[in-house]
Structure 1
């Protein structure tokens, strides 16, 4: 009887991490379902196919779902990306250049659409739990669209809180983003998601 009780105890202990991993997909779905707005500081690194880090940047991410996103790099080189429904503005102050793209952030299989979209995640991505590392539970999201620029996107969660993303593109490059000081459902002003090109800036793509 004691051996049986010990067996049950060991089995329960061993199963608990598996249950946590299996719940990572549900935690991601809950995060997206319950999050109407989101703001966090970020650290972004980009590594090549050999794993050599080539770039590092810091800034602030702001999102209002669906379709509004602001990605503001503060250092080492300022850059601003503002997405509002079907337009995305990319402003490079050093070059005094603005690039306008017409893109729908509410659908599709881009990382931005994953965070700011309104379409059910499973429509555009195949999801699977991807284990635990760095103290986070990870979900792997593989784009279903063959024309996607990304091979896969890994999302790291602490409970139902977004903590990290790793974007693996089709050229072997990996962009890692770690979020800190995150705030779920803050009240964000509409002015964050509007953009007017500064006087004198070259505008490309209009």
Structure 2
């Protein structure tokens, strides 16, 4: 539930010329890797830990993303939930509660981390200070929000062989959410119907 909420609702000082150049290179590198995929579909495995490293929750599911701004995140039973966005609205459906929550999509990247993968990547440097490191075929990016009202303190994106591999979010109390992406497919045709949602008959609807 917490990750779903973060996906929904989810200050660089010029200390030296080298630091500025490194940040600029990191932005360019991340933009290149994100722009290569106009669609992404994959399985995911998610693990949430508290500040001491104790496991809080483990789930798995399926995701689909399509630029610009379309995403679908389906968590498997027994904690089944479905999050769908058409780029303007977001539907969060909990079948156990028979409840649908509808929100306007927050376009701020610091409040909607999923938009890093499916949104306008040109806005990344406006929202984050970015650093990166490369080791062999693995590239890691650390994104720190410039806004003080962000829902997370840092976000790590990792690519292996130029393909999205995993993601980690850390919040202000040290809670970590680790997401591993499996069987990633890029630039395959995705039906736009994946990114629309029909409210099930009898479901309670909450507008936020």
TM-score over 0.5 for the pair: yes
Task: Say if 1:46 and 1:54, in contact at 8 Å, map to a contact too.
Answer: yes
Paired residues in the alignment total 183
Residues 1:126 and 2:129 aligned together: yes
Who is 1:177 aligned against?
A: 179
Who is 1:108 aligned against?
A: 109
Who is 2:92 aligned against?
A: 90
How far apart in 2 are the matches of 1:176 and 1:165?
6
Who is 2:145 aligned against?
A: 143
Structure 2 residue ranges without an equivalent (≥5)? 1-24
> Normalised by the size of structure 1, how large is the TM-score?
0.82
| Structure 1 residue 32: Cα displacement | 1.3
What value does the CA root-mean-square deviation take over the aligned residues?
A: 2.1
Q: Report which of the two structures shows the higher radius of gyration computed on alpha carbons.
A: 1
Q: Which runs of 4+ in 1 moved over 6 A?
A: none
| Structure 1 residue 24: Cα displacement | 6.9
Who is 2:50 aligned against?
A: 48
> Normalised by the size of structure 2, how large is the TM-score?
0.81
> Residue 177 of structure 1 aligns to a residue in which SS?
strand
> Residue 157 of structure 1 aligns to a residue in which SS?
strand
| Structure 1 residue 171: Cα displacement | 2.3
| Superposed CA offset, 1:102-161 (max 9, x none) | 1244x432311211111412121111015659x843110111221110101001111321
Moved more, 68-77 or 35-44: 68-77
Who is 1:4 aligned against?
A: none
